[in-house]
Amino acid sequence: MSVSRKITEAREGVDALAEYRKLPAIDTLLHEPAIALLSAQYGAAQTTESLRTLLAQARQAIATGQPAPLRPQWAGLLMEALAQANLPSLRALINATGVIIHTNLGRAPLSQAASAAVAMIAGSYSNLEYDLTAGIRGSRHQHTSSLLRELTNAEDALAVNNNAAALYLVLATLCAGREVLISRGQLVEIGGGFRIPDVLRQSGARLVEVGATNRTHPRDFSEAITPNTAAIMRVHSSNFRQIGFVAMPELSELAKIVQTTNAQNGTAVQLIDDLGSGTLLDTSLYQLAPEPMVQQSVTAGADIITFSGDKLLGGPQAGLILGRRRLIEQVRQHPMARALRVDKMTLAALDTTLRSYQRGTATQEIPVWQMISATPDALEARIQGWITTLHTFGIEGQVWPGESAIGGGSLPGETLPTRLLAIASAQPNIDAARLRAQAQPVVCRIQQNHLIFDARTVLAGEDGALLDAIKAIFS
């Protein structure tokens, strides 16, 4: 050990002893009126525990040469610590990343009407499985199937926990112990290690890969069909895009193969379409590539269609299974349908979301579609307002052009031109972390030593909270 280090330690040692002595006993603190009030609010056990932690932290701070907290500071320190410890684990936050369907940030935010419906149903009894007219047991499936039928022209529909569950249940019901043909180009991993071939194997179905990675032709399917084939399955490529020398049969071509085969051989091969996101609205109206629409799959002749509730549909987490009445009935009867069923809050949100489509007001009411349809001009005007407010607090921001992403495994590589609020930062990683530590956390991006906030994904009504968070860390 160097001489200078020894001297420093010795000097600190003298100071430290005096500081250690200033640390009050827990009992003494508990008798302070402000702390007694906190103890009444949060409970004695938690308060004592927090004081113990704070005292340990104070001892550590003293060991590094800092002074002990002053006596009047303890109540404030304790209040902060207790508030922090009592934050819920799952919290609302502001998504300024510009990724509209951000799986890590909870995918689609619900419409106001859908959120209100969830709150209403969550806090009371409901006719979840009760027929109000007859006064007898009903089915929870009645709450979504008729609306989904009406919106898509499918014969029947069923909602389960999520699209992964939907796929599993469909394959387990219709394909267990038999073959399912999928193009090599569609054996995708969606994210979080979720791979279509793994789900398929778990369901008890046998995967038969057809075609090449880049090119699959209709005859690849027709030649692979055997008496043991249960289904041909199309899987949306989700989060990647193939370009160059590529080919994939249209869904209608696959439907024709299935029909011809079944007619010739008296078999019952099914055409299953995993749309991934799926959409009821036409994305090409918003300068985006056309994302396959649910209605188109029904028209093209898919026997079973599955998609997510919380991607482009803009509703709650759910897996929607649409298709032929007889097949949906079989899926509903599978023992695992019970294990994968949706709860009343999901059904409330789903029903309310679907009604926005029924009324033709989805783009005005459903956040995902409000965000997709927001124009760069409107976003720029909003950011100019933010900049004016921030300026009065001595914070300077600029408008930058940028790109928002759709996310959620829909429209891979497609972006929407957007406008960003850019604020220069000497320590962007630290400032971004402080934004995430706010009571209502803000998640933003970092670019060229600037914090970047994409106005597109900041929900209407969050402007004030966003500006408060920025003010808190920059002024």
Ligand X SMILES: *Cc1c(COP(=O)(O)O)cnc(C)c1O
Helix, strand and coil content of the chain, in percent to the nearest 5, comes to 50, 20, 35
CB of 309 to ligand X, least distance (A): 7
Q: Cα–Cα distance between 209 and 221 in angstroms, integer?
A: 9
User: Under the criterion CB under 6 A, does residue 143 sit at the interface with ligand X?
Assistant: no
User: Under the criterion CB under 6 A, does residue 442 sit at the interface with ligand X?
Assistant: no
Q: Are 306 and 163 in contact (CB under 8 A)?
A: yes
Q: How many residues bind ligand X (CB under 6 A)?
A: 13
User: Under the criterion CB under 6 A, does residue 406 sit at the interface with ligand X?
Assistant: no
User: Under the criterion CB under 6 A, does residue 235 sit at the interface with ligand X?
Assistant: yes
User: Under the criterion CB under 6 A, does residue 314 sit at the interface with ligand X?
Assistant: no
User: Under the criterion CB under 6 A, does residue 323 sit at the interface with ligand X?
Assistant: no
CB of 238 to ligand X, least distance (A): 4
Q: Cα–Cα distance between 303 and 258 in angstroms, integer?
A: 10
Residue among 320 and 455 whose Cβ is closer to ligand X: 320
- Phi, psi (deg, nearest 5) at residue 83: -60, -45
Binding ligand X by CB under 6 A: which of 19, 273, 274, 431?
274
Residue among 249 and 276 whose Cβ is closer to ligand X: 276
State the DSSP code for 418.
E
Q: How is residue 141 written in tokens?
A: 């499936």
User: Under the criterion CB under 6 A, does residue 319 sit at the interface with ligand X?
Assistant: yes
Residue among 170 and 470 whose Cβ is closer to ligand X: 170
User: Under the criterion CB under 6 A, does residue 409 sit at the interface with ligand X?
Assistant: yes
User: Under the criterion CB under 6 A, does residue 236 sit at the interface with ligand X?
Assistant: yes
CB of 206 to ligand X, least distance (A): 19
R_g over Cα of the chain: 29
State the DSSP code for 24.
P
Closest CA to 471 of 420, 399, 396: 396
Segment (H or E) for 284: none
Q: Are 122 and 344 in contact (CB under 8 A)?
A: yes
- Choices 91-99, 142-150, 156-164, 367-375 (CB under 6 A): range interacting with ligand X: 156-164
User: Under the criterion CB under 6 A, does residue 163 sit at the interface with ligand X?
Assistant: yes
Segment (H or E) for 73: helix 73-85
User: Under the criterion CB under 6 A, does residue 190 sit at the interface with ligand X?
Assistant: yes
Residue among 293 and 420 whose Cβ is closer to ligand X: 293
Q: Cα–Cα distance between 425 and 450 in angstroms, integer?
A: 5
Residue among 196 and 416 whose Cβ is closer to ligand X: 196
CB of 320 to ligand X, least distance (A): 9
- Positions in 276-295 near ligand X (CB under 6 A): 276-277
Residue among 341 and 419 whose Cβ is closer to ligand X: 341
Classify burial at 396, counting beta carbons within 10 Å of its beta carbon; exposed 0-12, middle 13-18, buried 19 or more.
exposed
User: Under the criterion CB under 6 A, does residue 238 sit at the interface with ligand X?
Assistant: yes
User: Under the criterion CB under 6 A, does residue 174 sit at the interface with ligand X?
Assistant: no
User: Under the criterion CB under 6 A, does residue 308 sit at the interface with ligand X?
Assistant: yes
User: Under the criterion CB under 6 A, does residue 407 sit at the interface with ligand X?
Assistant: no
User: Under the criterion CB under 6 A, does residue 183 sit at the interface with ligand X?
Assistant: no
Binding ligand X by CB under 6 A: which of 54, 100, 159, 164?
164
Task: Give 398's strand partners.
Answer: 422
User: Under the criterion CB under 6 A, does residue 229 sit at the interface with ligand X?
Assistant: no
Q: Cα–Cα distance between 457 and 97 in angstroms, integer?
A: 7
Q: How is residue 144 written in tokens?
A: 């979504």
Residue among 58 and 281 whose Cβ is closer to ligand X: 281
**Widest distance between CA atoms in the chain:** 96
CB of 164 to ligand X, least distance (A): 3
Residue among 165 and 379 whose Cβ is closer to ligand X: 165
Residue among 170 and 230 whose Cβ is closer to ligand X: 170
Instruction: Give Cα separations from 391 to 369, 396, 462 (angstroms).
Output: 31, 6, 19
- Phi, psi (deg, nearest 5) at residue 140: -70, -20
Binding ligand X by CB under 6 A: which of 144, 145, 152, 162?
162
CB of 107 to ligand X, least distance (A): 8
Residue owning tokens 């495994």: 409
Residues whose CB falls within 8 Å of the CB of residue 448, separated by 6 or more in sequence, listed in order? none
- Choices 17-25, 58-66, 230-238, 350-358 (CB under 6 A): range interacting with ligand X: 230-238
Q: How is residue 163 written in tokens?
A: 């699209």
Q: How is residue 401 written in tokens?
A: 């052009």
Residue among 175 and 235 whose Cβ is closer to ligand X: 235
Q: How is residue 422 written in tokens?
A: 């850019």
Closest CA to 196 of 167, 225, 162: 167
Q: Cα–Cα distance between 199 and 193 in angstroms, integer?
A: 11
Ranked by CB distance to ligand X, the top (closest) residue is 276
Q: Between 342 and 371, how does the x/- string for binding to ligand X read (CB under 6 A)? A: ------------------------------
Binding residues (CB under 6 A) for ligand X: these are 162-164, 190, 235-236, 238, 274, 276-277, 308, 319, 409
